[in-house]
A and B are shown apart, each in its own frame.
Chain A
């Protein structure tokens, strides 16, 4: 896949403290986060981050709390100023931009969805939805149709006249998404957008997002601490720990080839049969010998195992849009289900 790179982050550092410049020198000279905190009372927020965000994809940045993921996403629209590095959007370094250019970026190129919804409590749902347009100076009468269209699209057609506090959490976040969509920006930043919602509603919202993405092909940067959510949504997954990127790749590749013990532990509890897809483990070329049936490239392993009824001697032809592209054998599927563990870790369980 050679899609355009919409935005990228280059050698980004963020240090919190009284004199970040001096601390930066020390970090570049090799000082680690705990040492820096102990010797100079500066917090190393982000360390040498390099991420490319491709057009039309969902890039998920995943990490536990304190890993710096919310800090990172706020660099993309400069709600937080970096200590060093570059943030390129459509090829331009936005850190060189002055206030008016930056404002235009926030109004027209990027929109954001927040963990705590952050709707304006004194404005109606409709006015909230049209917030980006109202900020550009468009009158309510002129943005009403557009705002209503997106409210309709997220399933809140009749709620435009209500106030945010009259809606449930899930509905409020739908307004948050409608607000971001109404701005018609190319890039959507979603900061733990679904983390405050109940599990069932969260699943609904994930499906809604995927459905919208199928249709709109926005460039989305999604922050989450939930690995299941990350694997469900991500085209490109970036795993962040203690302020540095420890692995970034297609999610399937991360599952099959975790870069270090931290990630191995992380992915250990995942239902691999449901997440892994045939395309990640198939072998190319025509199948040797006889096949028991055909499976699609994007089927997950669970469905193939179900099809084989547990038998281990089956072999399937893999199709993409109906044309054969390779084959997959049951033993390979079984191997893929066992998480790889580094030698030191095997004794643990």
Chain B
């Protein structure tokens, strides 16, 4: 039986003075491995994760690949649509959408001016690519997030399971999402960044849908029950309409988060303004990076104002005194 100090002394190759109390090493895997090779170093542990992942990679691919293929198609089609359609059609269409959801001439003018400004400094295509990715990803976030939120609001158990997952998705550094995805798909596939953006941006819409439905006035729900509404009538006739302001606030947050992620996703071949920012960093082209960053700020303001204005419109038509 050797003491810890002897073990460490042996590991140091029998140097004359052993460790003092001051620089006593923590008995970590690597330290123990030096003393006794039977104990694996911690790189073996991360190797284990790698080979484990590689072992299930094939199976995971056969399941996830076809499931997510529509995302690639949608992204490709939307990118094609937004960049190949002539600017004199795209800009009026965007203005028309703004008018429909906000009914505000000021915002329509704002949309025109900001896009014209970006186009004038030759960032039009990049901006449209970024917008295309955001439209597709935010749409899918809402498509998946609202039903998940509704299901969570109806079952406390599901809520207890989902909330930690949402917390994790929200706190993981965005780059970390990319690591397993790079192994799973080839870097040229659009769904790679699509999935990363959706995972990152879906959190607020799920959370706020759940919250919104849970916050619906209990008295009103009781009245709906007392008049014999079915669960379905209650959901579509009472809960969703009354939760709509909160759901829309979630959609706004989701759009803003997709915009943040789309820049990071340019590391894995997402086109758009993010690529220019990346070029600015990689080849130290200060101007290119800053101007593209400024373009992202403009898009952010634009998306935020438009969604907030449509939210305000829902709020007033739905106000509770």
Q: Give the interface of A toward B (CB within 8 A).
A: 77, 79, 102-108, 110-112, 114, 116-122, 131-132, 135-136, 163-166, 183, 189
Residue in contact with B227 in the complex, picked from A117, A121, A135, CB distance below 8 Å:
A135
Query: Complex Cα distance A111/B321, Å?
Result: 25
Instruction: Say whether, besides A103-B230, A165-B321, A121 and B225 are in contact (CB < 8 Å).
Output: no
Contact between A114 and B223, CB atoms less than 8 A apart: yes
Interface string of B206-228 (1 = CB under 8 A from A): 00000000000101101111111
Question: From residue 187 to 237 of chain B, which have CB atoms closer than 8 A to chain A?
Answer: 217, 219-220, 222-230, 233, 237
Question: From residue 291 to 321 of chain B, which have CB atoms closer than 8 A to chain A?
Answer: 317-321
Instruction: Say whether, besides A103-B230, A135-B228, A118 and B219 are in contact (CB < 8 Å).
Output: yes
Residues of chain A contacted by B280 (CB below 8 angstroms)? none
Residues of chain A contacted by B227 (CB below 8 angstroms)? 106-107, 111-112, 131-132, 135, 183
Query: Complex Cα distance A131/B220, Å?
Result: 12
Residues of chain A contacted by B319 (CB below 8 angstroms)? 121, 163, 165
- Whole-angstrom distance from the CB of A31 to the nearest CB of chain B? 31
Question: From residue 223 to 255 of chain B, which have CB atoms closer than 8 A to chain A?
Answer: 223-230, 233, 237-238, 241-242
Interface string of B258-302 (1 = CB under 8 A from A): 000000000000000000000000000000000000000000000
Residue in contact with B228 in the complex, picked from A106, A163, A189, CB distance below 8 Å:
A106
Residues of chain B contacted by A132 (CB below 8 angstroms)? 227-228
Q: Give the interface of B toward A (CB within 8 A).
A: 217, 219-220, 222-230, 233, 237-238, 241-242, 317-321
> How many A-B residue pairs lie within 8 Å, measured between CB atoms?
67
Instruction: Say whether, besides A120-B238, A165-B319, A106 and B220 are in contact (CB < 8 Å).
Output: no
Residues of chain A contacted by B226 (CB below 8 angstroms)? 77, 79, 106, 110-112, 114, 189
Residues of chain A contacted by B242 (CB below 8 angstroms)? 121-122
Contact between A121 and B228, CB atoms less than 8 A apart: no
Closest 7 CB pairs between A and B?
A: A165-B321, A106-B228, A107-B228, A118-B223, A112-B226, A118-B219, A121-B320
Contact between A79 and B222, CB atoms less than 8 A apart: yes
Residues of chain A contacted by B229 (CB below 8 angstroms)? 135
Residue in contact with B220 in the complex, picked from A108, A111, A121, CB distance below 8 Å:
A121
Tell me the dominant secondary structure on chain B's binding face. helix
- Whole-angstrom distance from the CB of A172 to the nearest CB of chain B? 9
- Whole-angstrom distance from the CB of A191 to the nearest CB of chain B? 9
Query: Complex Cα distance A183/B228, Å?
Result: 11
Contact between A104 and B228, CB atoms less than 8 A apart: yes
Query: Complex Cα distance A30/B224, Å?
Result: 38
A111, closest chain B residue (CB) = B227
Instruction: Say whether, besides A121-B318, A121-B319, A165-B319, A116 and B219 are in contact (CB < 8 Å).
Output: yes
Residues of chain B contacted by A114 (CB below 8 angstroms)? 219, 222-223, 226
Contact between A118 and B228, CB atoms less than 8 A apart: no
B321, closest chain A residue (CB) = A165
Residues of chain B contacted by A120 (CB below 8 angstroms)? 220, 223-224, 237-238
- Whole-angstrom distance from the CB of B82 to the nearest CB of chain A? 35
Residues of chain A contacted by B321 (CB below 8 angstroms)? 121, 164-166
- Whole-angstrom distance from the CB of A104 to the nearest CB of chain B? 7
Instruction: Say whether, besides A120-B238, A122-B318, A112 and B223 are in contact (CB < 8 Å).
Output: yes
List 29 contacting pairs A-B, 8 Å CB cutoff, sorted by A: A79-B222, A79-B225, A79-B226, A102-B228, A103-B228, A103-B230, A104-B228, A106-B226, A108-B228, A111-B226, A112-B223, A112-B227, A114-B219, A114-B222, A114-B226, A116-B219, A117-B219, A118-B222, A120-B220, A120-B238, A121-B220, A121-B319, A122-B242, A122-B317, A131-B223, A135-B228, A135-B233, A136-B228, A165-B319
- Whole-angstrom distance from the CB of A260 to the nearest CB of chain B? 34
Query: Complex Cα distance A291/B220, Å?
Result: 59
Residues of chain B contacted by A111 (CB below 8 angstroms)? 226-227
A136, closest chain B residue (CB) = B228
Residues of chain B contacted by A112 (CB below 8 angstroms)? 223, 226-227
Q: Which of A106, A112, A121 neighbours the largest number of chain B CB atoms within 10 Å of its CB? A: A121
- Whole-angstrom distance from the CB of B238 to the nearest CB of chain A? 6
Residues of chain B contacted by A121 (CB below 8 angstroms)? 220, 242, 318-321
B317, closest chain A residue (CB) = A122
Residues of chain A contacted by B238 (CB below 8 angstroms)? 120
Residues of chain A contacted by B222 (CB below 8 angstroms)? 79, 114, 118
- Whole-angstrom distance from the CB of A212 to the nearest CB of chain B? 19
- Whole-angstrom distance from the CB of B300 to the nearest CB of chain A? 31
Query: Complex Cα distance A77/B317, Å?
Result: 33
Q: Which of A111, A114, A132, A135 neighbours the largest number of chain B CB atoms within 10 Å of its CB? A: A135
Residues of chain B contacted by A183 (CB below 8 angstroms)? 227
Residues of chain B contacted by A189 (CB below 8 angstroms)? 226
Query: Complex Cα distance A122/B240, Å?
Result: 11
Query: Complex Cα distance A135/B230, Å?
Result: 8
Query: Complex Cα distance A164/B319, Å?
Result: 10
Residues of chain A contacted by B228 (CB below 8 angstroms)? 102-108, 132, 135-136
Query: Complex Cα distance A102/B227, Å?
Result: 11
Residues of chain B contacted by A77 (CB below 8 angstroms)? 226
